Amino acid sequence: MGKSRLIEMNNVGIVVENLDDAISFFSEIGLTLEGRGMVEGEWAGQVTGLGNQSVEVAMMVAPDGHSRLELSRFLMPTTISDHRTAPVNSLGYLRVMFRVDNIEELVSRLTKQGAELVGEVVQYENIYRLCYIRGVEGLLVGLAEQLNEK
């Protein structure tokens, strides 16, 4: 068969307490709900190492049709730790970054719905305008607007 090769990045998983609120938040950013359902039983636990589990999952897809977020709400077993308020310089997976076309408008819309700007919107040379926000449940999300896009 030959050497394995990477095909694409399929999704980034995020565990949340309230799936409806998370779907709403990421929909506001511009992702679309692709599907929602339950993942249950021992077969799923064999993948995660958690044993018998019951998880409600929502798959959100970006406009490019490839990038996805898998939002999960664990019913069983219950969650055991919380990394949502970890600062940016913590070890591990901390944020997902989205490229947007109007960062000021999106930040304004998201903060009106309770998101918080972490620092400020900054410009990196003539290339990007960037910021971090804490959105639903304190999740850290990066936003980047490419300048002079061709």
Write the CATH number for 104.
3.10.180.10
Residue 56, Cβ density class (10 Å: 0-12 exposed, 13-18 middle, ≥19 buried)? middle
Residue 62 domain-assigned?
A: yes
Claim to verify: residue 48 and residue 100 sit in the same structural domain: no
- Please report whether residue 84 resides in a domain: no
Residue 87 within a domain:
no
Q: What is the pLDDT of residue 106?
A: 97
Residues 63 and 110 in one domain: no
What pLDDT digit, counting tens, does each position of 41-84 carry? 778 878 888 888 899 999 999 999 999 999 999 999 988 888 88
- Domain shared by 70 and 102, yes or no: no
Segment-wise mean pLDDT, segments of 10 residues, the chain, 150 residues: 86 95 97 96 81 92 95 92 86 90 96 95 94 94 87
CA dihedral 29, 22, 15, 135 (to 10 degrees): 60
Residue 103 and residue 69 share a domain: no
What is the 8-class DSSP label of residue 138? Answer: G
Whether 121 contacts 102, CB under 8 Å: no
Whether residue 1 is contained in a domain is answered as no
Q: Which residue range is the domain that position 107 belongs to?
A: 95-146
Cβ neighbours around 87 below 10 Å, total:
8
Q: How far apart are CA 36 and CA 34, in angstroms?
A: 7
Q: How many structural domains does the chain have?
A: 2
Predicted pLDDT at 52: 85
Provide the pLDDT for residue 149.
Answer: 66
Q: Indicate if 71 and 115 belong to the same structural domain.
A: no
Q: How many CA atoms lie within 13 A of 116 on its CB side?
A: 8
Does residue 138 form part of some domain?
yes
Say if residue 69 is in the same domain as residue 102. Answer: no
This prediction has a pTM of 0.90
